[in-house]
Structure 1
Amino acid sequence: MTVPAIPSTLDVALWLFDQSRREDIYMPAQKLQRLLWLQQGTYAAMNHGRMLMPATFVADETGPIEATVFHLFEDSRPPIPPRPIEAVAENHLARTWRRYAHHSPDYLTKPIVKQLSYREAWKRGPGSVIPFEAIARDFTQLPESETLVKAGDGRALRKWVPTAKPAMRRIR
């Protein structure tokens, strides 16, 4: 088990909710849950399996949820003052926010419920805990067909595939 970069999952949820207010983006409970999941997984992928927050995700019929945060934020943001977050962790939150915040909860849910960690937990039954190690595995492993080489730090590098066919030249 690693030491989380942010000491509380509630701090991350408050940051996400407050960011949605600053940018005037609607934040339903399901979207908050998907963003928490993506924050945790992408942080693990970018930081050698390190945990962003001490979250306990469980399998729900709608996808993975962090039950405590879900309960607290189900209707609205609780009146809790935010605590400062270290710059490195906040940069990750902002980067992941920019990448995913504009998507709908349904759009975010579709690929998440296909991840092995969620599917394994769902097979065990609703409410089954999804281990952090399984979440980190889902975000750090690529299918063999997409892996070209491993970087020196262990990350898998994807093979570059051109998006367009080269134009044929006429020889005169």
Structure 2
Amino acid sequence: MTSIRSPLVDSTFDVVNWFLDRALNDGEYLQPQKLHRLMFLAQAYCAVAHNGRRLMPAVFVADAMGPLEPNVYRAFENERPWISEVKMSEAAKQVLDSIWRRFGAHSADHLSRAVRRHPPYVDAWTEGPRTVITEEAMVAFYGQFQAGKTPALRDDPGADDADAAPALETVLRPRVLRSHKGRPVNAMPWVPKARKDP
């Protein structure tokens, strides 16, 4: 039996509050559908960057509009509930800040259109509405992209660059650390290459 490592944050609501507060600080109202797409992408890229470790204890399902976290959807159905803020780890903040910087400027429609073309969502939706989108499917798809290389999607001649997902290196912003001489250096987590079976 495989053990599941603890997520980077204790509650999915911590991630929701972070995105809502960040949007307010940037003078933007964060639409619910955009929030769910950002959460989905954050979960996917965190799992790729941290060897399958979840960002939050969340389950995403395939909804007609795109990936949806049903508990958050229900909790925020009428208004934003009051939830106490909890201090996040630097690793969690790095993921969230990187996702916001890379995808936050896009509209809810743009993010929904793009993510609905990606195989983790497509495969779950094909199984039926409300089917769970697994972390394994997220890592397999979002982890295959490398900067400068775009693999073909499903051998679909109609697939275009909008169907591709940005490479991890272009999404997660490196942390700036200091060398032993005080100079700034970029630090990215090491991600092993996928093993190819013979």
Identical columns (%): 36
SS at 2:73's partner residue?
helix
Give the Cα–Cα distance (whole angstroms) in 1 for the partners of residues 142 and 11 of structure 2. Answer: 21
Q: 1:153 to 1:23 in 2, by over 3 A?
A: closer
Pairing 1:93-172 to 2, within 5 Å after superposition: 93-142=96-145, 146=150, 153-155=191-193
Give the Cα–Cα distance (whole angstroms) in 2 for the partners of residues 139 and 120 of structure 1. Answer: 14
Which structure would you say has the larger Rg? 1
Q: Say yes or no: does 1:76 pair with 2:79.
A: yes
Looking at secondary structure, tell me which structure has more helix per residue. 1
* 1:44 matched residue in structure 2: 47
Deviation at 1:14, TM superposition (A): 1.0
Judge conservation of contact 1:44–1:139 (CA < 8 Å) in 2.
Answer: no
SS at 1:94's partner residue?
helix
TM-score after normalising by structure 1 = 0.80
TM-score after normalising by structure 2 = 0.70
One-letter identity of the residue aligned with 1:42: Y
SS at 1:13's partner residue?
helix
Deviation at 1:10, TM superposition (A): 1.2
Question: Residue 16 of structure 1: which of 2, 14, 19 is its match?
Answer: 19
Give the Cα–Cα distance (whole angstroms) in 2 for the partners of residues 137 and 74 of structure 1. Answer: 32
Deviation at 1:123, TM superposition (A): 1.1
CA RMSD in angstroms, aligned pairs only: 2.0
One-letter identity of the residue aligned with 2:51: H
Give the Cα–Cα distance (whole angstroms) in 1 for the partners of residues 113 and 13 of structure 2. Answer: 25
Judge conservation of contact 1:43–1:50 (CA < 8 Å) in 2.
Answer: yes
Higher mean displacement: 57-66 or 87-96: 87-96
**Cα deviation 1:86-143 (Å, max 9, x = unaligned):** 1121122112111111110011112211111111111111111111211222210239
- Unmatched segments (≥5 aa) in structure 1: 157-172
One-letter identity of the residue aligned with 1:12: V
Judge conservation of contact 2:34–2:108 (CA < 8 Å) in 1.
Answer: yes
Give the Cα–Cα distance (whole angstroms) in 1 for the partners of residues 150 and 141 of structure 2. Answer: 14
Deviation at 1:155, TM superposition (A): 4.1
Q: 1:55 to 1:33 in 2, by over 3 A?
A: same
